[in-house]
Amino acid sequence: DELMNKLDPSRDLLLTYNGVRTLMSRYLMKRLDGSFFETPQYMWMRIAMGVAYSEVKYGNDPIKWVEKFYDLVSQLKFLPNSPTMFNALTKLGELSACFVIPVDDCLSKDSNRDNPNCFFGIMDAAKLAALLFQAGAGVGYQFGELRPEGDVVKSTSGVASGPLSFMRLFDTLVDVIKQGGKRRGAQMGMLFWWHPDIEKFITSKTGRLKDVQLQNFNISVTIDDYFMTKALRGEDVYLLNPRECTCLYQTWGQEFIKCYEECVSKVKAGLVKVWRRVNAGELWSKIVESAWDSGDPGLWNRDVANMKIEYVNDVVSEKYRVINGTNPCGEVALYPFESCNLGSINLTKYINGNSIDWVSLANDIMLAVRFLDDVIDSNQHPHEYLDRANKASRRIGLGINGWADVLVSLDIPYDSPKAIALADVVMGFVARVAVRASVELAKEKGPFPLWPSSKWRSGFLPWRVHDERVSKMLEVKGVSSDVEEYLEILKLGYGELGGLPNKAEEYLAKLRATDDELIKDASTVGVRNGALISIAPEGSRSLIAGVNSSIEPIFAIAYVRNLSIGKLIEYNYTALRKLKDSNALDNETTSKVLESGMLPSNHVMHPVLKTANEIHWRWHVFMQVTFAKWSDSGVSKTINMPSNATKEDVNGAYRLAWALGAFGITVYRDKSKAVQVIYTGVEG
């Protein structure tokens, strides 16, 4: 009864028409006859109850937390990832949005008990993936441990079919499973740059295979700083067989380089079969060409991911001591069997006129971290390895939503130094308060089990590592001027922000969330969560919250989104309001916006309302890396380009992202795929 009284039906009015449509299509529970079992407010309450239930385990009053969580989500201030909304308090009980599953070089561990390299075989991975798709989650895999096509298979004296053929198996799996699930399982397939099948992988979704093959996969080439240096210098590299040099995927950074060079010596001495010697610059050009043609492959830098993670999660098997892959959209680099427990703060709720309400923002970040931490205990996974890995690291992924709306309401163009500096201030605030929240939780509930051996103990903060790496890049020929430009822009932007950064810092000091205080407490008291910050795409959550997704610029002021639930005509309401308030929405402007989704370039409001394809890729990358600085897991962002962008543009964007410390990068040239999810304009 207490909780029933708490339900506030007037909050349904916060939802937009498309928000309600989205909830009705998949989120609200239905009876067997198809009628609705819950209204939005009941749904928020169900989610709050399902998550707060974990508090019982720690001797806390769950009702108190149900009320707080309900207030947070029902006002659309914070939304957890979709599976938490789908499955909280239901029989499925899987609350995580995504996973990384290992694919070891064997069919199944059942028939390979004495092979130390076979802990979780291809079919073991396929089975687990199917169960996760059923719950609406996505899965990422590194296929680079598989021996190349044409290699020997001892047990059958046969010939290996290689990673690509197995990727097709997983692709079909999604087609088959999607019938019964809430949504089609998204997948990420990766391959190391040194794998002998890398060229086939790079072109596997390009040219005549575009829009045909691997349609249920995003693909990314796993790169590292070693490869990038070779590529920039146009030097040769060897492609190597992972079966013969297993340390290639069990090490990273300097250790990897040592392993790689040893393996190359073996090749040269004839001890290991020569696969191929290729020019790294040519390999790079192939990647760029394919990405220009079809958007695939993206890049993912394994060095950045491992450098910024705070712990090693080898509780399931000692074999998995390195992060070799990410979830489907790239925002969470995970150890095998770990999951992403995502949630995002809707920043539009904390803008008051021209200022930011730091106090409410901090309070809600604290609550959001607790919510996500509780998700870990309420979660029910379909395999005990998932349970073990996730309880050991207790990683969460707090992100933000509605960034473009914030910039529009503050009259700041997305492609301006001021916007980049504001991103740095706001995300810095979110990340630091999140660590403080996690320290407070550690005091109350204990640090995450892997904390004693983690980098948190030695004064490590991921954003500092990022800054150190960017400074080192100032010395690297070919990219140093890019790095200088970025740092100059940031400085300029800070100058234009006036007293705003100081206000944020003052409040951080009050919360004891300055770097010094955080280092002191995280190394002595501990933190509750191994990793904390992740910028997800917010595909559905942005629709439900009625804001522009994640950190993306406005895609268009008016646009059509083709989803499985039907065609949604959407408007960016912040932009429309801005135009209306400024008396800038005359008939001519209205018809132009309806037709093309954009403002004419000579319109007075155009600079603040530029859309994704009108913003130069350099600014897209600058924005992405500014958020990446504060993340320990990853950032999902699309670097949009107009359809007439050149290969040199793609080359430039990929290189810039690497130089500035991005976890990875994906570009999309307008209309480069036959079917797009979003089209600008709603007429014509």
Which positions are annotated as active-site residues? 327, 329, 331
Stretch that binds ligand CDP, among 38-46, 58-66, 461-469, 531-539 (CB under 6 A): 531-539
Pick 97 or 473: Cβ nearer ligand CDP:
97
Judged by CB under 6 A, the residue of 408, 536, 575, 593 near ligand CDP is 536
Judged by CB under 6 A, the residue of 98, 288, 483, 621 near ligand CDP is 98
In angstroms, give the least distance from the CB of 113 to ligand CDP: 32
Q: How many residues bind ligand CDP (CB under 6 A)?
A: 21
Tokens 């043609």 belong to which residue? Answer: 293
Judged by CB under 6 A, the residue of 328, 413, 526, 530 near ligand CDP is 328
Pick 218 or 306: Cβ nearer ligand CDP:
218
In angstroms, give the least distance from the CB of 37 to ligand CDP: 21
Q: Does 459 bind ligand CDP (CB under 6 A)?
A: no
In angstroms, give the least distance from the CB of 356 to ligand CDP: 23
- Our CA dihedral for 309, 69, 384, 252, rounded to 10 degrees, sits at -10
Burial 173-193 (b: 16+ CB within 10 A, else e): bbeebbeebbbbbbbbbbbbb
- Residues 623 and 640 sit within 8 Å (Cβ to Cβ): no
Burial of 34 (0-12, 13-18, 19+ CB in 10 A): exposed
Give the residues across from 345 on adjacent strands: 78, 400
Burial of 675 (0-12, 13-18, 19+ CB in 10 A): exposed
Pick 497 or 535: Cβ nearer ligand CDP:
535
Q: Does 540 bind ligand CDP (CB under 6 A)?
A: yes
Strand segments (E) across 328-416? 333-334, 339-340, 342-346, 351-352, 355-356, 397-401
Pick 84 or 250: Cβ nearer ligand CDP:
84
Tokens 């980098």 belong to which residue? Answer: 455
Residues ≥6 apart with Cβ < 8 Å to 668 = 295, 638, 639, 640, 641
Stretch that binds ligand CDP, among 203-211, 299-307, 442-450, 538-546 (CB under 6 A): 538-546
In angstroms, give the least distance from the CB of 681 to ligand CDP: 23
Pick 543 or 605: Cβ nearer ligand CDP:
543
Q: Does 189 bind ligand CDP (CB under 6 A)?
A: no
Q: Does 538 bind ligand CDP (CB under 6 A)?
A: yes
Beta strand 397-401 pairing with 138-142:
unpaired
Judged by CB under 6 A, the residue of 54, 74, 82, 390 near ligand CDP is 82
Q: Does 637 bind ligand CDP (CB under 6 A)?
A: no
Tokens 């996690």 belong to which residue? Answer: 438
Length of the chain: 684
Reference 194, options 134, 153, 249; nearest CA is: 249
In angstroms, give the least distance from the CB of 538 to ligand CDP: 4
Beta strand 342-346 pairing with 397-401:
parallel
Q: How far apart are the first and last CA of the chain?
A: 53
Tokens 């938490």 belong to which residue? Answer: 84
Beta strand 351-352 pairing with 355-356:
antiparallel
Q: Does 183 bind ligand CDP (CB under 6 A)?
A: yes
The rounded distance, in Å, linking the Cα atoms of 172 and 668 is: 25
Q: Does 381 bind ligand CDP (CB under 6 A)?
A: no
On the question of a cis peptide bond just before residue 297, with omega within 30 degrees of 0, the verdict is yes
The rounded distance, in Å, linking the Cα atoms of 605 and 411 is: 9
Closest chain position to ligand CDP (CB): 138
Q: Does 97 bind ligand CDP (CB under 6 A)?
A: yes
Judged by CB under 6 A, the residue of 19, 163, 185, 295 near ligand CDP is 185
Stretch that binds ligand CDP, among 328-336, 465-473, 638-646, 649-657 (CB under 6 A): 328-336
Burial of 67 (0-12, 13-18, 19+ CB in 10 A): middle
In angstroms, give the least distance from the CB of 550 to ligand CDP: 7
Q: Does 541 bind ligand CDP (CB under 6 A)?
A: yes
In angstroms, give the least distance from the CB of 397 to ligand CDP: 9
Pick 47 or 599: Cβ nearer ligand CDP:
47
The rounded distance, in Å, linking the Cα atoms of 205 and 560 is: 25
Stretch that binds ligand CDP, among 3-11, 184-192, 293-301, 652-660 (CB under 6 A): 184-192
Q: Does 138 bind ligand CDP (CB under 6 A)?
A: yes
Residues ≥6 apart with Cβ < 8 Å to 4 = none
In angstroms, give the least distance from the CB of 636 to ligand CDP: 6
Q: Does 642 bind ligand CDP (CB under 6 A)?
A: no
Q: Does 329 bind ligand CDP (CB under 6 A)?
A: yes
Residue ranges binding ligand CDP (CB under 6 A): 81-82, 97-98, 137-138, 183-186, 327-329, 331, 342, 536-541
